Amino acid sequence: MTSFDDILEEAGQFGRCQKRIFALLCMVSMPWAGVYVGIVFQGFTPDHWCRDPAVAERRHACGWSLAESRRLTVPLVNSSGVLQQSSCEQYEVDWNATSLACDTQELDLSKTPTGACKGGWEYDYEGRNSFVTEFDLVCSDGWLVDMYQATLNVGFLIGSIATGYLADRFGRKISFLMSNLFNGIAGILVAVAPNYVALLVFRTLYGFGVKGGWVVGYVLITEIVGVEHRRTVGVLYQMFFSVGILLLPLLAYFITDWRWLQVVITVPYIFFLSYYWFIPESPRWLLSQKKKSKAIEITKAMAKENKRTLSKNIENLTDDNLDSCAASFMDLIRTPKMRKHTFILSYNWFTSAVVYQGLIMRLGILGGNVYIDFLISGLVEFPAAFLILFTIERIGRRIPFASANIVAGAACFITALIPDSMFWFKTVVACIGRLGITMAFEMVVFVNTELYPTFVRNLGVSVCSTLCDIGGIVAPFLLYRLAVIWLELPLIIFGSLAFVAGGLVLLLPETRGVPLPETIDDIELPEKVKEKAGLKKQQLANLLPNDDVSTNKEPTSLVFLISLTPRTCIAAAMTTFDDLLEEAGTFGRCQQRIVALLCLVSLPFAGVYVGTVFQGFTPDHWCRDPAVVERRQACGWSLAESRRLTVPLVNSSGVLQQSSCEQYEVDWNATELACDTQELDLSEVPVTGCKNGWEYQYERRQSFVTEFNLVCSDGWWVDMNQSALNLGFLIGSFAFGFFADRFGRKISFLVSNALNAIAGIGLALTPNYISILVLRCIFGFGAKGGWMSAYVLLTEIVGVEYRRTVGILYQMFYSVGVLLLPLLAYFITDWRSLQLVISVPYILFLSYYWFIPESPRWLISQNKSFKALEITKAMAKDNKRKLNNTVTLTDEEGDSPSASLLDLVRTPNMRKHTFILMFNWFTTAVVYQGLIMRVGIAGGNVYIDFLISGLVEFPAAFLILFTIERIGRRIPFASANIVAGAACFITALIPDNMFWFKTVVACIGRLGITIAFEMVVFVNTELYPTYVRNLGVSVCSSLCDVGGIVAPFLLYRLAVIWLELPLIIFGVVALIAGGLVLLLPETRGVPLPETIDDVEFPNRKKEDVAENQQMEKPLKTDLTNNKEATTV
């Protein structure tokens, strides 16, 4: 008997055929996004107020503005402690019977009685039309808007069950096509519905077809790919929903009528009917229906398209689920653990739907620009899929799943507490919550499948996921009704739900590396599963013959084998890449050329990382008064003279200085002002905030601060520029780490550079600051990922003894970029042009496609030894070396155990190392970026100061190379942090009149933190065992990007209190970091640990090394004696 999975191995698990079908079916997810969350635009409730026909008529006659006529119509009411114009009440005045003049400024209506709106409503909606404005669904009828989304989810609930049954009964393909036909009809009916009752009925029918068709498409694509591709395909299928989310606000912006938007969302479903000719029926379903011949026909067609040949085993094809027992709903709740899983998963489905839909629909009631807000929040969904794919096989399911819920809950709580004046900070935190709940929503799908036995799995997923649709029914009522009481109250509810969901997930078992359960006993008694797996493994070992029958190759010649020396036999049987590299050249001409090319990548990265010092420079500024500016030009005043008339003196850190954010409250146009103002006394004049913008003393230069006036109350926006970059770094390092491991170092490097070029040039051209922050985040995403991919590539193609030197030199080129940056910024006076210059090299790096190879190590890890050998031979040829022809490459890490996040904290020494290294990554990022950005606010010549501080980075690399093999790692690492901390303290205490002494001490601090930053990289690698090393470095270094996010807020906000206060904070954290480093073990001359025991019991490792050295002596003698070849 042969199962379909066996045949799929021959036909191709994810070949050209499956990729084509997958690409087609992924398109289905995009219009579904419009169906699911289109209410944000189709049901948008704009600002509205009662309409009074008489006032409207008088407005046209008198030319009143909307605000003036609104004052006569609606009263002020208390809304969350703030007086606002009512949306649902009006003054009970008959303006037709009242003598009303055009001048109404002195009219007092405070004693006038009020009543409910009688003449309908007026809407402030810029010529747009939603079904809310068309059917007047506001005030007492506002709950009908909730019904629009609730009825959709009722359709989802019924449709997912009904279409699921139909797909099992009549087939995946026919169900998919029928649902799309149904969607096309129902969607058009929604667009032409004559009244709201009909609209709700058609909306329910629409939901019935849409959800069912989407689920059938999901099932079909997962059934025709191999087992190892199902999870990736499933996550990517859902990711195209996020693509639809991004397209939706763009469509809604240009399509102003909700009915036409509905038509555009529906039209794709009509096109999907053409899939009848492009997608096949599921062979698995055909087998389950005993339609073997049709299943074989389709499988052969797939194999042909994949250019594969099937064996005769296909004639024995059977349904591998033929003998499964019937499932019952009671099976889900009969036993304790099944009951626990069902409850927790049902609750998580419910929570994911409520919080996800709630956060999306909340965008429509916030009052900001709904299109931009929706687009930004949609962008954060993309990292969710990559984070899931990156973490689930490294960390597991439970921790990321729980963390996603907890992060979403925390973000909801924090967002509710952030004041509205900090709008963009509030938006960023809300987006983090959206990212968390998106991850949770996508993870609950496959975690659900892994926690139920085979025979009840489909039923379990169906029952639990119905709570998703119930959550969708509840969500609009929770959001819109509670928001009437307090706008942030729904967020408190969402946060509570998500927190509880995260806590409950921690009660579920971890399923990574655990075989799927087959019976309820496997759930209730998991120990038996492990015993069964061990027994099965033993049985397989006993059944396998000793002879090599795994390949069809010709047997190896006996004479050839005997003619080899023992050493050559071993090499021919198994050769690692390091062995081969010894022959090809560990650092020959080829590697030198590649290292030289890749080191150039560090140059523009310096501009990306610290370019904000020049691009976001905040020059001396003061309030602008147009009348004083005009008078200055007439009288020939200097800036200082006109500034004295505009801004008052304020106490700044005990010193009287001219204010940057306040001005005298004087109308100079109405004041007689002579050119001689020396005797003018303004000390008693009241002051106020700047009203007409600012003037800047910046020598005809322009930064984004001066362009967008990001000063005073808006100064925190400048912090967001660097924080957005580091947020991109944080996500990019994880995402491109996954990409580089999945698709290769070279392709990841090239993709990142393409992304850098697009985002970098987009930054230079973008018209507003919101877009700058979004593109800055994307720029960080690509720049950090590309820089890391290049670092990994160059360390993988050189010999072991050169890796550390090459790594430090690679970072030293970053220092060269730091030196070049002030020279460029001095001659390029506009921040946009400087951005272009920083971005252009990334376009040139795309030419590396022809100059750098893929990493042979990565190719070997992907079982592409032939390609790896081909590249290595080319390297050897370039290095003028010759390889041994009898080589069989193997992956030296092929049998390493899988790494878990818990491995980093489970045992005492590992926990200590993880904490200390994470703190040091965080500290180096905060202090390094803080000291660099401080150059921009210190008040000196920013170009010279930056150049001097950049020069001190060069000795760092040479000091490291000189000391680490002579003194060790621990003492230089700790000393660097302590020197940096002490220098920060001393710099803060040196008075400003000792400028050069202060600069020298600050440069010593910069040198210290640079050494610490470069050392933490390889110290991190030396303290973790082999199998968990990459994970350890990734997790610890993520704190570097967190530090980068925090650094600008620490620097700029604390500097407002006292300019030197950030230095005190930097000094404290650096001294603590140095002290903690002294608790780490010395690693000089110590072999890299291979297991956690090597870390926990380091003395045992030393004994093993000594024993191995002792054993090598007789082994060398034996090998020498056997050097001559023996013949038969």
Helix/strand/coil (H, E, C) string of 745-806?
HHHHHHHHHHHHHHHHHHHHHCCCHHHHHHHHHHHHHHHHHHHHHHHHHHHHCCCHHHHHHH
Q: Hey, how many other C-beta atoms are within 10 angstroms of the C-beta on 749?
A: 29
Q: How confident is the model at residue 458 (pLDDT cuts 50, 70, 90)?
A: low
pLDDT on residue 1101: 53
pLDDT on residue 839: 93
Average pLDDT over residues 210-237: 79
What is the percent of the chain with per-residue pLDDT over 70, rounded to a whole number?
A: 82
Q: How confident is the model at residue 841 (pLDDT cuts 50, 70, 90)?
A: very high
Q: 606 versus 512: which is more confidently predicted?
A: 606
Residues 984 and 976: their CA atoms lie apart, in Å, by 12
* pLDDT tops 90 at residue 40: no
Residues 628 and 800: their CA atoms lie apart, in Å, by 69
Are 811 and 1014 spatial neighbours (Cβ–Cβ below 8 Å)? Answer: yes
Average pLDDT over residues 1099-1126: 49
Average pLDDT over residues 849-875: 85
Are 340 and 523 spatial neighbours (Cβ–Cβ below 8 Å)? Answer: no
pLDDT in tens, 767-799: 888 889 989 999 988 888 788 778 778 877 888
| Residue 835 phi, psi (nearest 5) | -60, -40
pLDDT on residue 1102: 54
Contacts of 216 (CB under 8 A, 6+ apart): 163, 167, 172, 175, 176, 179
Are 115 and 90 spatial neighbours (Cβ–Cβ below 8 Å)? Answer: yes
Report which of 986, 1003, 995 is spatially closest to residue 1060, judged by C-alpha positions.
986
Residues 774 and 201: their CA atoms lie apart, in Å, by 40
Q: 312 versus 307: which is more confidently predicted?
A: 307
Q: How far is CA 893 from CA 748, 866, 873, 890, 896, in A?
A: 22, 18, 22, 9, 5
Residue 1109, Cβ density class (10 Å: 0-12 exposed, 13-18 middle, ≥19 buried): exposed
pLDDT on residue 760: 92
Q: How many residues does the chain have?
A: 1128
Q: Give 124's strand partners.
A: 47
Q: 511 versus 1057: which is more confidently predicted?
A: 511
Residues 61 and 43: their CA atoms lie apart, in Å, by 33
Contacts of 254 (CB under 8 A, 6+ apart): none
pLDDT in tens, 610-637: 888 888 888 888 888 888 888 777 777 7
Query: 70-74, 319-323, 734-738, 989-993: which has the minimum mean pLDDT?
Result: 319-323
Give SS3 for 440.
helix
Query: 682-696, 836-850, 980-994, 1027-1041: which has the minimum mean pLDDT?
Result: 1027-1041
- Cα-to-chain-centroid distance, residue 166: 38
Q: 89 versus 838: which is more confidently predicted?
A: 838
Are 137 and 145 spatial neighbours (Cβ–Cβ below 8 Å)? Answer: yes
pLDDT on residue 1117: 46
Average pLDDT over residues 355-369: 75
Q: Pseudo-torsion of CA 714, 715, 719, 722, nearest 10°?
A: 90
Q: Hey, how many other C-beta atoms are within 10 angstroms of the C-beta on 253?
A: 16
Mark out the alpha helices in 965-1097 (DSSP H runs): 970-989, 995-1022, 1026-1057, 1061-1077, 1092-1096
Are 791 and 807 spatial neighbours (Cβ–Cβ below 8 Å)? Answer: yes
pLDDT on residue 403: 92
Average pLDDT over residues 725-734: 82
76 DSSP assignment:
E
CA angle, 725 then 730 then 733, to 5°: 110
Residues 2 and 961: their CA atoms lie apart, in Å, by 61
pLDDT on residue 324: 47
Residues 957 and 748: their CA atoms lie apart, in Å, by 28
* pLDDT tops 60 at residue 724: yes
pLDDT in tens, 261-301: 999 999 999 999 999 999 898 887 787 777 888 888 888 88
Are 115 and 89 spatial neighbours (Cβ–Cβ below 8 Å)? Answer: yes
What is the percent of the chain with per-residue pLDDT over 90, rounded to a whole number?
A: 11
The first and second tokens of residue 58, run together, are: 């008088």
Q: How confident is the model at residue 558 (pLDDT cuts 50, 70, 90)?
A: very low
pLDDT in tens, 575-623: 667 778 888 888 889 999 999 999 999 899 888 988 888 888 888 888 8
Are 596 and 851 spatial neighbours (Cβ–Cβ below 8 Å)? Answer: no
Q: 1123 versus 167: which is more confidently predicted?
A: 167
Q: 127 versus 30: which is more confidently predicted?
A: 30
Residues 437 and 386: their CA atoms lie apart, in Å, by 14
* pLDDT tops 60 at residue 549: no
Report which of 784, 1047, 785 is spatially closest to residue 922, judged by C-alpha positions.
1047
Residues 28 and 184: their CA atoms lie apart, in Å, by 13
pLDDT on residue 525: 75
Q: Give 623's strand partners.
A: 694
Helix, strand, coil proportions of the chain in percent (round to 5)? 70, 5, 25
Residues 596 and 1016: their CA atoms lie apart, in Å, by 24
pLDDT in tens, 671-696: 766 677 666 777 677 888 888 888 88
pLDDT on residue 551: 37
Average pLDDT over residues 947-959: 78
Of 802-806, 874-878, 891-895, which one has max mean pLDDT? 874-878
pLDDT on residue 695: 84
Are 935 and 1102 spatial neighbours (Cβ–Cβ below 8 Å)? Answer: no
* pLDDT tops 50 at residue 533: yes
Q: 100 versus 349: which is more confidently predicted?
A: 349
Average pLDDT over residues 870-884: 86
* pLDDT tops 80 at residue 669: no
pLDDT on residue 489: 82
Average pLDDT over residues 440-469: 74
364 DSSP assignment:
G
Are 872 and 583 spatial neighbours (Cβ–Cβ below 8 Å)? Answer: no
Q: 165 versus 426: which is more confidently predicted?
A: 426
Report which of 641, 647, 625, 649 is spatially closest to residue 674, judged by C-alpha positions.
641
Are 852 and 746 spatial neighbours (Cβ–Cβ below 8 Å)? Answer: yes
Q: How far is CA 394 from CA 387, 512, 643, 1024, 1035, in A?
A: 11, 9, 61, 15, 11
Q: How confident is the model at residue 1029 (pLDDT cuts 50, 70, 90)?
A: low
- Cα-to-chain-centroid distance, residue 344: 27
CA angle, 466 then 472 then 475, to 5°: 140
pLDDT on residue 405: 92
The mean of the pLDDT values for the chain is 79
Average pLDDT over residues 139-167: 81
Residues 689 and 96: their CA atoms lie apart, in Å, by 43
Average pLDDT over residues 1003-1011: 89
- Cα-to-chain-centroid distance, residue 284: 36
The first and second tokens of residue 750, run together, are: 């090239």
Q: 567 versus 315: which is more confidently predicted?
A: 315
Report which of 922, 932, 923 is spatially closest to residue 1051, judged by C-alpha positions.
932
pLDDT on residue 1026: 58
pLDDT on residue 185: 93
Give SS3 for 130.
coil
pLDDT on residue 259: 92
Report which of 121, 119, 128 is spatially closest to residue 93, judged by C-alpha positions.
119
Average pLDDT over residues 342-360: 87
Average pLDDT over residues 307-336: 66
Average pLDDT over residues 452-471: 71
Report which of 791, 782, 792 is spatially closest to residue 750, judged by C-alpha positions.
782
Q: How confident is the model at residue 891 (pLDDT cuts 50, 70, 90)?
A: low
Residue for token digits 């004052």?
71
Are 599 and 813 spatial neighbours (Cβ–Cβ below 8 Å)? Answer: yes
pLDDT on residue 408: 92
Query: 27-41, 843-857, 952-966: which has the minimum mean pLDDT?
Result: 952-966
CA angle, 279 then 285 then 287, to 5°: 115
* pLDDT tops 60 at residue 74: yes
Q: Hey, how many other C-beta atoms are within 10 angstroms of the C-beta on 870?
A: 14
Report which of 533, 756, 923, 283 is spatially closest to residue 764, judged by C-alpha positions.
756
Of 263-267, 737-741, 859-863, which one has max mean pLDDT? 263-267
